[in-house]
Amino acid sequence: MLDPTAASPPEPEREPDPQPPAASDDALIEADLLVEDVSIDGMCGVY
């Protein structure tokens, strides 16, 4: 028996969309989290 989903084309790969966890502005202000720094040094091997 044929599986109808087997012929479906694979989902195209998408560029990862950087999304930090959602939070309200008030919560971010309260916790002083309006800015978050990240260094990408050393991540070359990931790609």
Partner 1 sequence: MATAFDPGRAWALDPQVALRSERFGALAYHFGTRRLSFLKSQKLATVVRSLADQPSGHDACLAAGVAEHEMAAYERALATLATSGMIAERPSA
| Sites of contact with partner 1 (CB under 8 A) | 17-20, 22-23, 25, 28-30, 32-41
Least gap, CB of 32 to partner 1 (angstroms): 6
Least gap, CB of 44 to partner 1 (angstroms): 10
Least gap, CB of 14 to partner 1 (angstroms): 15
Residue 28 exposed, middle or buried by CB count within 10 Å (0-12, 13-18, 19+):
middle
| Closer CB to partner 1, 11 or 41, in the complex | 41
Q: Are residues 12 and 2 in contact, defined by beta-carbon separation less than 8 angstroms?
A: no
Residue among 45, 21, 19 nearest 31 (CA): 21
